[in-house]
Amino acid sequence: MKLSDLHLPMAFAGAAQLLLCLGTLALPRVLGWREKLALLPTLERQMFYVYAAYIWGTNLAFGLVSLAAPGWMLDGSGLASAVLGFIALYWGARVALQFLYFDLRSARPPGVHFVVAERALDLLFVGLTLLYGAACACSIAGLR
Spatial neighbors of 141 by CB under 8 A, at least 6 apart, are none
> Lowest mean pLDDT: which of 3-12, 24-33, 85-94?
24-33
The pLDDT tens digits of the residues spanning 60-69 come to: 999 999 999 9
Residue 76 phi/psi, 5-degree rounding, is: 80, 5
The pLDDT tens digits of the residues spanning 78-135 come to: 999 999 999 999 999 999 998 898 876 676 677 788 788 888 999 999 999 999 999 9
**DSSP for 61-111?**
HHHHHHHH-HHHHTS--HHHHHHHHHHHHHHHHHHHHHHHT--HHHHSPSS
In this structure, the chain runs to a length of: 144
**3-state SS class at 122:** helix
Q: Could you tell me the residue ranges of all domains in the chain?
A: 3-141
Question: Identity (one letter) of the amino acid at 109?
Answer: P
